[in-house]
Amino acid sequence: MEYRIEKDSMGEVKVPSDKLWGAQTQRSFENFKIGANIETMPEEIIHAFGILKKAAAITNNLLRKDKMTDEKLEAIKKACDEITEGRLKDNFPLVVWQTGSGTQSNMNANEVIANRANALLNKKLIHPNDDVNMSQSSNDTFPTAMHIAAVLIIEDRLIPGIKELIDTFKRLEAENEGIVKSGRTHLQDATPITFSQEISGWRSSLERDIELLKLSLKPLYGLALGGTAVGTGLNAPEGFDKLVAKTVSDLTKKPFVTAENKFHALTSKDELVFAHGAIKALAADMMKIANDVRWLASGPRVGLGEISIPENEPGSSIMPGKVNPTQCEAVTMVSVQVMGNDTAIGIAASQGNFELNVFMPVCAYNFLQSARLMADAIKSFNKNCATGIKANRERMHHNLHNSLMLVTALNPHIGYENAAKTVKKAFNENISLKEACVKLGFLTEDEFDKVFKPEEMV
């Protein structure tokens, strides 16, 4: 491999000649051989750095034109655009398990942008610290990148995926209107419910999850950029914070604003904890929905068998013909991962000391993994399972009329205690509720038929 020599404040470093990063990135790459090579800084963070570095350059050009010249600005903007377009992704090799402030990833972005901008200019004009990092610190850029990445993945990827599943459930509700089935509580038979009502519960849960996610977005719109090292804004020109936030907003079409208190913005991660709580609530609901679907589809002969789901792949290496609810299983595993991530994020957020939190990379890694996994799992579940759910009307009808809890309809006519006696007799003698009720002398056959109408119990 061929190398070139790069320099930083500690001296010279050999860097692969085909890479755009510089000395500080190389030092981090060599010093943190931790974890799998896939545990690199999330691409959403890199994308956010491209946005914020472009916004900072534009703002510096307006406020410090003597230092951020038009020539520098245009080259930096082009390099940043290449980052956001994903064209320079091979130049961001650093793992999450690095400095807790994300300094090395901030410098990775600075060095890549500077070297790419210089290549575009065909001269060494732009410095990673003096120009690309102008008016900034890693301590305010990394939390800014976290907020930008979180907003973009929630608004542009997670919520649209949820809406697609909601639309599927709306269609299923309409298609299954009027089908009455046995309800279940405590995994035991309960009073009747329509299948469309059951589906509406799934839909409504997801609609509420979107509401919660949207509530969590407002705090994330606040950006730390402009606080620099400790929140005082040292080395940033007056008005930089508000103007750079407006520029980020213009670039992303999202309502970003400057954080009201930069000392809070640098050291507290409560906004991410709150937003991830909404993602965890979604995970809890998806766990419930996926479990409902696989229970209802259990069988095909000795389970509930009230619905059928698409058969996507063989389910066993030893049992021929077996098909499993694999999409449901994927959703439930993702949900468990999200719940675990929530613990990690909560602990990470609690570790702010004085003017900085130094658990930011792991916080960002887990947050973005949760949002990404939930978005992908919901999309997969919708496409490969939910859209193909079919009601087994015959099984639902059989289970409904076999349910002993239909006796609840008799409560107003024979009383709770007599209804309980009816259930026990029917169960013990394996006879119908009607037979038991008549044998016990509580109602005649005609009286029973007049008050016992399961389809009207919903």
Cα atoms in the Cβ-side hemisphere of radius 13 Å centred on 202: 26
Q: Which residues lie below 8 Å from residue 305, measured CB to CB, with a gap of 6+?
A: 297, 298, 299, 392, 395
User: Which residue out of 186, 370, 403, 413 is catalytically annotated?
Assistant: 186
* DSSP letters spanning 355-414: TEES-HHHHHHHHHHHHHHHHHHHHHHHHHTGGG-EE-HHHHHHHHHH-GGGGGGGHHHH
Radius of gyration of the chain (CA): 30
Cβ proximity of 74 and 115 under 8 Å: no
For residue 186, indicate whether it is catalytic. yes
Cis? peptide before 325, omega within 30° of 0: no
Cβ proximity of 130 and 235 under 8 Å: no
190 bridge partner residues: 183
Six-digit token string for 368: 């973005």
Chain centroid to Cα 176, Å, comes to 30
Nearest to 245 by CA among 55, 68, 84, 58: 55
Spatial separation of the C-alpha atoms in residues 231 and 225, rounded to whole Å: 9
The number of helices, as runs of H, and strands, as runs of E, in the chain is 17, 10
Cβ proximity of 293 and 389 under 8 Å: yes
For residue 276, indicate whether it is catalytic. no
User: Which residue out of 17, 204, 316, 350 is catalytically annotated?
Assistant: 316
Burial of 358 (0-12, 13-18, 19+ CB in 10 A): middle
Q: Which residues lie below 8 Å from residue 426, measured CB to CB, with a gap of 6+?
A: 404, 407, 432, 433, 435, 436
C-alpha dist (Å) from residue 176 to 30, 173, 290:
60, 5, 19
If one counts every other C-beta atom within 10 angstroms of the C-beta of residue 114, the result is 27
Q: Which residues lie below 8 Å from residue 162, measured CB to CB, with a gap of 6+?
A: 206, 209, 210, 282, 378
Owner of token pair 């004009």: 125
User: Would you name the residues annotated as active-site residues?
Assistant: 186, 316
